[in-house]
Structure 1
């Protein structure tokens, strides 16, 4: 528990009331306690090699692997491209629905259907424009489509889920997609910059949603019978989910989310549970450093398995390694991309508990937006840059 009692060390000089000074002093004490309680201290692993697969992308956000050594990559400004085995980028695919690139929103995650080889189906999420009036500007949507046989465009595009309450907010869109073993789709959403939406059970913001591939609601969803609650909600109390994956060792769903300063979380996400935001959090207000919500725990709300602090790493992308390409020690580990930390975090698990954590790829000095395991058993990452975003392959030592 003490592991989570943390806040970001202040790097600015403030002229604020004594209340703020006291809060910072208290936070400093908590940081010292948290540091002494850490059973596993992250280590910085240097010397890993990366190999560039392709470059010249604009804010790449999600990637998925295709047969024949190809991959499909999204660019947040609203483009989707196919990367050839030699790294050549295709022209932007045709057939995408209208996408609004605003703030953190745009064209975001993409995955291929488990049966892509036979059905050529993909799923992607994006910032969908609304009617344009002040109460219905844009919001997160999930679509399915088929990639054309010539890999040049999308066909039979259909939005299968959309956020009903759209706003003009420019951040916290969430948007990571996972296909479960039973064929259902999970997608994390963000609170859209209005933190109280995460606890509003009539609203799909700040939730993990679960739908069938046609957009219908699975009959075993936890809130299906509750009046006034959208049936697609699987879990609540999330701030901004940008990493999600099924652990193939046990089939459990994991997700991480951006917290406020010092409050990034890794959670084991289970049906019907509430993960607390903004009622409980170990993060702090960005400017004042003051506490958010009611405290750090409350009955009926879940604690994270892992919290990053005192400095946020800004996690994005999550993958479990099933191959032995990097040796036995890495097999089964979770890998988390980090935008602010400009690295990848390797997390070794024993069941639902963290055994150790290390920082890898720090030398590359790249904002890591996504992490995936390729068909070759190697790890691939997206380096987020507006002018020269790249796909990198991590090579074994």
Structure 2
């Protein structure tokens, strides 16, 4: 068993260096600020603003972006930051607390089929629902919208998960949070909360899922024992599925997800309850997976991207995640499926970072989480 990497005291901090400049273009304020990093000076530019709790981001083939807003909107954002009106045809979510319209992902064949997926809180009951739709050629509405999965649980307004990743074979993986329901349900294979599921693009069950045919087990479950998965992506170097999830007070995790594996929540973990009470029996137990990294205290990681671009050659192969509580961008250096170091970036930006993606230009693109949310582009200075 590999020893998980835990953040201790030493950090590589990114300090603000230069003043802010403003450019007015197409009605969007462009704001650029400079920070230091191990890769040199970083330029952080505000590309879009005026978004209400933006949550998920996906790049269209032409470089524009689809961005979700938690209250229930999907917009197209131009490369100049111009916001489209909300797309028509989006179902009304249950928008309360952390619930609402959450992640969005393009089908791997979007260029030919115009298909996308989005995860949201169903209007009745707050269960996580995954929908499939087609973006019309005029880019103004979603057509043929169909809910292809609704979780079997009591739902709620917190800990929804709802991150989406698509495998090379087209199968869809979705994180489902525990909703603050009785914690033991994350260990119950008869419930969907606290799980990662795997289904076909039409919602059918993948027939080699690990619990098909098991009595009292949901056939869509791929892995279990999760609390609140807030990042999900395939590592392009290995093809493995990686997940980031929130702990309570301490115990945020990075996991490599295996078929049928149990990731321990709430039996094992590294955090405590919000009131200081003990939650876990221990930090390890036979038959339960260890994270490859955990954070104590919590940083509330959110979103994740493996960097493969050329703008930051020194960072190729790194894993990036935002941080909501700690208000920063985190870079994890990796080797052989192990975390070997951590760099904390943009700390003086003072923004809750909800999502991070690598853009087609090789820059890092971020969503900030607030009622006045922004889209940020992170690049080497001058690029």
Deviations 1:39-93 (A, max 9, x none): xx43213322211110000000001001222110000000110001221101111
Aligned partners of 1:359, 1:114: CA distance in 2, in Å?
A: 32
Whether 2:231 is the aligned partner of 1:252: answer: no
- What are the equivalent positions in structure 2 for 1:196-345 lying under 5 Å apart? 196-287=184-275, 289-309=276-296, 311-327=297-313, 329-345=314-330
Aligned partners of 2:134, 2:380: CA distance in 1, in Å?
A: 34
Shift of the 364–3 alpha-carbon distance from structure 1 to 2, 3 Å rule, reads farther
Partner of 1:134: none
| Aligned mate of 2:361, from 356, 372, 376 | 376
Whether 2:161 is the aligned partner of 1:192: answer: no
How many corresponding residue pairs? 355
Runs of 4+ in 1 over 6 A off after TM superposition: 1-6
Aligned partners of 2:144, 2:108: CA distance in 1, in Å?
A: 18
| Aligned mate of 1:108, from 102, 110, 115 | 102
Aligned partners of 1:237, 1:100: CA distance in 2, in Å?
A: 25
Whether 2:152 is the aligned partner of 1:183: answer: no
Consecutive unaligned residues of structure 1, counting only runs of 5 or more, are 7-33, 131-136
RMSD (Å) for aligned C-alpha atoms: 1.7
Deviations 1:201-247 (A, max 9, x none): 10010000011101111111111121211111000000000101100
Deviation at 1:138, TM superposition (A): 2.0
- What are the equivalent positions in structure 2 for 1:165-180 lying under 5 Å apart? 165-167=153-155, 169-180=156-167
Partner of 1:358: 343
Partner of 1:45: 14
8 Å CA contact 1:266, 1:307 repeated in 2: yes
User: Does the residue aligned with 1:197 lie in a helix, a strand or coil?
Assistant: helix
TM-score (norm: length of structure 1) = 0.86
User: Does the residue aligned with 1:43 lie in a helix, a strand or coil?
Assistant: coil
Aligned partners of 1:85, 1:324: CA distance in 2, in Å?
A: 20
8 Å CA contact 1:202, 1:230 repeated in 2: yes
8 Å CA contact 1:5, 1:282 repeated in 2: no
TM-score (norm: length of structure 2) = 0.90
User: Does the residue aligned with 2:343 lie in a helix, a strand or coil?
Assistant: strand
8 Å CA contact 2:5, 2:340 repeated in 1: no
Aligned partners of 2:154, 2:144: CA distance in 1, in Å?
A: 25
The structure carrying a bigger helix percent of its residues is: 1
Whether 2:373 is the aligned partner of 1:389: answer: yes
Consecutive unaligned residues of structure 2, counting only runs of 5 or more, are 16-34, 36-41
Aligned partners of 1:4, 1:118: CA distance in 2, in Å?
A: 42
Partner of 2:51: 57
The structure carrying a bigger strand percent of its residues is: 2
